[in-house]
Structure 1
């Protein structure tokens, strides 16, 4: 029997970066809010049963057999992910085609990870074969049902697909994602190059997870192991940003900007008078950054000052009860009107950096769309701008991906030429990872 450790709860800290000065009559206030959690879980420490539940959804449609390395890689990667589960973690495996089938443990339940159940699950994986269509909404529905039956605080899915969601209407998948949102988080991976980037990234975005491409099935095991290690490092679920604004002030948008761009604006739920909650998913030891834009009332005069918004964290009840200090002091976003031109026109370095990172993601996506449509001039302009932004912000990883799609003539000026031929894997990798950002450089 495993020696289960007592839960270790992260301590959260919140810090706001902004230029609070506005010109007379100015209305839009921008702030970057950094949320950091420290002292939480580790990926190897065994925890008491009920801490986490994970469902792995493996595409077993007919296309997974072409080439055969995809199905073989999926079996091996899933086995590696199962080996990475901490003792006491609840888990299940689903085979996904035009329908969803329980592979292990079956009978609508989850197993608790230990040496015996891991061995049984890996034995069950040997029976996975390819055949049938693709209806991802059915996979998510079964995963949701299995996770709803668990009392685990961390509820997570891992989804692997190699093709398009051809046996289900897009509206059905969207409805299923809406139903699952807030009930569990999910990482999504596309293997090979025959899947739709928009579908895979849309699943991850809706369920507050990560999306990526694994073009070569031989790399699936490494990716799945890394993913599961991240999941095992989560300790607090259902953390939300709560934004309160005074009368007359309105939130324009709330976006996660690091480690990746994710728009949370439309996910607001009311939390009392003039307050709203924005979901952030599950946390372990990590730091994330958010861009908040608040529109304050018109008519601010020189010398006037106001609190534009107050941002606090909403943590699950048991966490706050265990460790009252886990909930940090709120971050205050201020507005001060001034006639000092230098003060009111200065852009806070954090705001400038992440505004550029968001523009970088948009430029890549727009450039790739233009390229697909045969608009060479539009693609060149947008991808050139992306190269320029990547260079200016020090986003070396994105710069390398861009260099596989365009020939860079002058990075600082954004002068590029489209490559005559681009490998599908290179284009899809750039598209899938376009929203990944780099942190602002700290002095």
Structure 2
């Protein structure tokens, strides 16, 4: 069944005289009369990158659960999907197949791959950029349209510099989607978010390794269910307009502004990756030349495109008024997602200040995060923050930093800071 896309714009188009900033939330939904058809398995490729550094052996069940999870993902692959398994240490080596190429999933190769996974041992260090580089090499050599990777680590990227990781991510960007996961209690939420952000994937942490099997299986099933390989948000703006930002705001916050690829001087594409049956929200903010009272203008045309094919489009409008009742009305979705983006930033900045010893800034930022989480009903985030601060008054954002915090609790708050909840229609 052909996948169809719809777009719906939520905004208050009325602006007071002299105002030039237009905000809108655009909901994009992919689906159809029936569930979108999954791609031909021969058009899908997956690489699993498994941390095999020395710390994965302590406790011993951590590597054991990682092996089980990897084998569960292998079993989830349909016949015909290209796949490879990479062992990550201070370097990256092939687990299966032994040569740096992708195998084709069938009963024989799945059995051989799982046998190879059982032989994995824990030793050496952690250099995530080298793992990604090998995955990139595997994907470059394959014509699949849908390319997906899973990266699992239990530690920080201690055996290469941030510059080296950034260079590896730049080389991989646009070539494949990567979901990153931390396991145990010594990984970095910031590093996982960095990988997922650059490669249009998701990031999360699992303190208990027993959760890996279900998570790997779910990530693989989700990847196999993508129906459109490369989807972009295309924005047209009128002469004299300036795009302030374009952000994905649901299901997680992702700033797409700097990823613009110019189609022309007034048209830009913002890559959003592969889509299955799903819905996402985007916040678009545009500055337009001021208009006279009663004047209506098109502030932006928002289209969903795959290549040069327009799948759906909607309009963002601006109309100037001297009626304060109209111009001061804040659209519920715009207000909600503005708060969600501020919540993510407050958590990340607060935790960074805490790590840097700036208790005053950390207390203020994390207090604001607690306040925003309470206002928006973000219960999961509120619970994570309560592991990092003692909440005196959530309504006012009054908190005290906890003297002792488990490292994994801070990292979970960090890596999950970008997850959002959807507001009801309005």
Q: TM-score, normalised by structure 1?
A: 0.92
Separation in structure 1 between the aligned mates of residue 188 and residue 38 of structure 2, nearest angstrom: 37
Query: Where do 1:27-426 residues align within 5 Å?
Result: 27-39=20-32, 48-297=40-289, 299-316=290-307, 327-426=310-409
SS at match of 1:91: strand
Count of matched residue positions in the alignment of Structure 1 and Structure 2: 426
Structure 1 vs Structure 2 CA RMSD: 1.9
**Structure 1 residue 9 displacement after superposition:** 3.6
Report the 3-state secondary structure (helix = DSSP H, G, I; strand = E; otherwise coil) of the residue aligned with 1:330: strand
Native 8 Å contact 1:33 1:291 kept in 2: yes
Structure 2 Cα separation of the partners of residues 182 and 300 of structure 1? 39
Shift of 1:72: 1.3
**In the TM superposition, what is the alpha-carbon distance from 1:120 to its structure 2 partner?**
1.2
Moved more, 88-97 or 377-386: 377-386
* 3-state SS, counterpart of residue 390 of structure 2: strand
Segments of 4+ moved more than 4 angstroms: 40-43
Counterpart Cα distance in 2 of 1:264 and 1:442: 24
1:266 to 1:47, Cα distance in 2 relative to 1, 3 A: closer
**Cα gap change, 1:427 to 1:40, in 2 (>3 Å):** farther
Q: Which runs of 5 or more structure 1 residues have no equivalent in the other structure?
A: 1-7, 321-326
Give the drift of 1:47. 5.5
Aligned-partner SS, 1:412: coil
Shift of 1:274: 0.8
Q: Measure, in 2, the Cα distance between the counterparts of 1:403 and 1:296.
A: 42
1:42–1:232 CA contact under 8 A, matched in 2: no
Residue-by-residue CA offset, 1:252-280 (whole Å, 9 max, x unaligned):
11000000000000000111241000000
Q: Is the 1:50–1:153 Cα contact (8 Å) retained in structure 2?
A: no
Counterpart residue number, 1:436: 419
Match of residue 16 from structure 2: 23
Gaps of 5+ in 2: none
Task: Report the CA distance shift for 1:46/1:375 in structure 2 as closer, same or farther (over 3 A).
Answer: closer
2:86/2:93 contact within 8 Å kept:
yes
**Within 2, Cα distance between the matches of 1:133 and 1:81?**
24
In structure 1, the residue corresponding to 2:219 is in which secondary structure? Answer: helix
User: Quick one: distance in 2 between partners of 1:144 and 1:343?
Assistant: 52
Look up the SS of the partner of 2:239 in the other structure.
coil
Deviation at 1:180, TM superposition (A): 0.9
Q: How big is the shift at 1:408?
A: 2.5
CA distance in 1, matches of 2:171, 2:32: 33
Q: Secondary structure at the match of 1:79?
A: helix
Helix, strand or coil: the match of 1:86? coil
Distance 1:181 1:291, change over 3 A: same
Q: Is the 8 A contact 1:42 1:233 kept in 2?
A: no
Separation in 2, partners of 1:65, 1:311: 50
Query: Relative to 1, partners in 2 of residues 1:371 and 1:273: Cα closer, same or farther, differing over 3 Å?
Result: closer
